[in-house]
Amino acid sequence: DAGVIQSPRHEVTEMGQEVTLRCKPISGHNSLFWYRQTMMRGLELLIYFNNNVPIDDSGMPEDRFSAKMPNASFSTLKIQPSEPRDSAVYFCASSRRTSGTDTQYFGPGTRLTVL
């Protein structure tokens, strides 16, 4: 069974450019989470979806960030325009149910560098 798939694995871009990160959750999972990890701030939840519907986006830093989940097998996180402070590792995770007992399965992450 394939795990959570993220692409690209590495992205280097220049300030002001648009960046799109992609995630394919595990088949059959109903919840999807986007996290950002930095040395300074640790692991931060940006947004999560249940059954393709955004439930809580209070962690999205500002209007430059947006996320979509058009269907159960695909989600995107977009940053427009990007800034150097957006440099981080972005993780996507999915879980089977909207239940507190369920494990989250993380993808390998996308390492974003904004110059």
Partner 1 sequence: GDSVTQMEGPVTLSEEAFLTINCTYTATGYPSLFWYVQYPGEGLQLLLKATKADDKGSNKGFEATYRKETTSFHLEKGSVQVSDSAVYFCALSAETNAGKSTFGDGTTLTVKP
**Choice between 81 and 113, CB closer to partner 1:** 113
Q: Which residues pair with 19 in a beta bridge?
A: 79
Q: 64: how many CB neighbours lie within 10 A of its CB? A: 15
Nearest approach, Cβ of residue 76 and partner 1 (Å):
18
Nearest approach, Cβ of residue 82 and partner 1 (Å):
22
**Choice between 81 and 108, CB closer to partner 1:** 108
Q: Please state, in angstroms and rounded to a whole number, the distance separating the CA atoms of residues 85 and 111.
A: 13
Q: Are 29 and 16 in contact (CB under 8 A)?
A: no
**Choice between 56 and 83, CB closer to partner 1:** 56
Nearest approach, Cβ of residue 81 and partner 1 (Å):
27
Whole-angstrom CA distances from 100 to 3, 26, 97, 104 are 20, 18, 8, 10
Residues contributing to the site for partner 1 (CB under 8 A): 4, 31, 33, 42-43, 45, 48, 50, 55-56, 91, 93, 95, 97-109
